Structure 1
């Protein structure tokens, strides 16, 4: 049954697949996510020249509420730090929590965060409201749907101006 599920998922023509792991016990959630992520990475890497995966089918994995299951001990930097990626020539800092400064911020690098959801009270929102390159990726801002970068920018402008 698991093989059929994975074949249907990886081989699907759908543009979006949401894998709901809310029923997985907390004690094994990190292992489950690690195994799924490893499986997807391996299929993308080893199938990089195939038409159904790899270079021909870009993939974005988003882990909602990742701070809830990432290990918080000193040996795990992923639970504490942001991650910097590049989209073409554009630098992007990803972090669950909003930051006031990140690498390349003064040169237009983006920061994508969540945590504050759609809250507009307090100093955090007031500071972020003035930062065009700080983007809130919370589901409330994006109508509870995945958003490409251009939509994220537009949705944030609307949110900040409302």
Structure 2
């Protein structure tokens, strides 16, 4: 099974207030994330983390925490990800800035572009390829981005003329439909 999530911001106290996360402190947030993750993900699954797993990677507690998260972990780096510590790097099966993959469920195959940042043009855009992203945090910023994509979809441009179904989905852990747990593509598409 493949799962997707971003912007965990582990060990980042300010993220609780900044995102209006429903936690009193980091311990409560970490406990929820660990419980949600490990009750769903098995060691045979792959979890694509689309950036900002923490504020920085040089931290003994962070290394210990990520080591306890089940599954094969692929990190698509975000602006807060520091992977200079070799021990931390070893916790991921792959670390990259951008990734193109395939996922499927119920007999249908999907092309996906994975990036920490919302982008306005991606390979296969408007031709069925779905962008999964994070980074925006702000509902205002994300709403603006989604409106822009919707306008492209409605009106077309010289790149998207005649294309339909431009889809980009935020996988930020604090979104209502994410609820601080990795989600499958099927779960994500059921929300859109």
- Report the TM-score, using the length of structure 2 for normalisation: 0.43
Between Structure 1 and Structure 2, the one with more helix by share is 1
Structure with larger Rg: 1
Question: Does 1 or 2 have the higher relative contact order (CA < 8 Å, sep 6+)?
Answer: 2
- Report the TM-score, using the length of structure 1 for normalisation: 0.49
Between Structure 1 and Structure 2, the one with more strand by share is 2
